[in-house]
Structures are given as C-alpha cells and as structure tokens.
Amino acid sequence: MDTRLRDLLEQKKASILKRWFEAIIETYPIDTSGFLKKQKDQFANPVGYTVSLGIESMLEALMEGNEFNEELPFLDDIIKVRAVQDFSPSKAMSFVFLLKKVVREELEKEIKQSQLSDDLLEFESKIDNLALLSFDKYIKCRELIYKLKTDELQRMTFTLLKKANLMSEIPVQEFEHRD
C-alpha cells in the first residue's frame, strides 16, 4: 500500500473508527443499538467494548499490510459475539464490508485529488480477504454452537428418560462382558 494512503488512513483513523463502529451498531435492532452506542463501560457493555477494540485492531492490521492467518484474536472475539446473536450469516459478516464504505466516504476527496484509487483497490482487496477469513471463523463458531446444542439436547433427553425409568445406565462390568 502506498504510504500516502496509509498516512491518510492514519490521519483519519479516529473518524473512520467512530463511523465504522456506528455503522456496525446500526446492524442491531434499535433498542439494542441505542444501548451499545451510549454505554461505554466494558463491563456494562461487553459487546460494544469487544467490537470497539476489535475493529481498531483490524484497521491497524489492514493499514500495516499484514497478511491474515488463522491467529487473529481481535477478529475471533467479534466473530464469536456475532455468531451467538440472531443474525443471518450475511448480516453477521457485513461488519467487515462496512469498512469499505466508511473509508471511501471519509477519504473520497483525498483519493480523487491524490489519484489513490489503485491503492484503495489494494486496501479493499485486503478487506475482502479479511471478510473471507471472518466467514470461515463464523462457520466454525456456528458449528460449535450447534454441536453444543445437540449435546445438551441429548443429555436432557437421557436425563428425562432415566427419571421416567424408561432408560437405565448399563453398568460398566456388564458392558465389558458383552465385548
């Protein structure tokens, strides 16, 4: 990435992060988004806090031009939060793509004046790669959630059947003799 684009991103970083955070919060229902915007305490608003820290780390990594791999704790935290919420997969992952819109709007004039459209395309390509990695992580989280739900349902069913005397555990000795 050209240093001019990186410098512009650095200069407008606070504004970009604020607008990106607001755009992400707007993906939530109105009653939730109002709370997430107003409450700044990390313990009273862990979702807002996690998103805020995560997007700052994401933007820094993108600005540094880092290659993304599986070890991205800042991304993992946001994905885990979005995976347990009642979002469709596309809506859950939309937060990554919102950065493109925010950057284009924040830097529109500078990009045209400095002819940085090629650099912007390169930056947006990195955002796309981050989105693909995010989607992989999201799917893994959802698979784990479904597995946990299935395991819990099986435990509950077994417990209910056992309480109703419709099922009993096979003693270990009896089970071993059947082999």
Domains of the chain in sequence order: 3-141 (1.10.490)
Task: Report the chain's mean pLDDT, rounded to a whole number.
Answer: 85
The residue written with tokens 């309480």 in the block is 163
Question: CA 108, CA 66: separation in Å to the nearest integer?
Answer: 24
Query: Which DSSP category does 32 fall into?
Result: H
pLDDT at 169: 62
Residue ranges in the chain whose pLDDT is less than 70: 1-2, 38-40, 70, 167-179
Q: Residues 111-123: pLDDT tens digits?
A: 888 888 889 999 9
Say if CB 137 and CB 75 are below 8 A apart.
yes
pLDDT at 1: 64
pLDDT at 31: 75
Distinct helix (H) and strand (E) counts, the chain: 8, 0
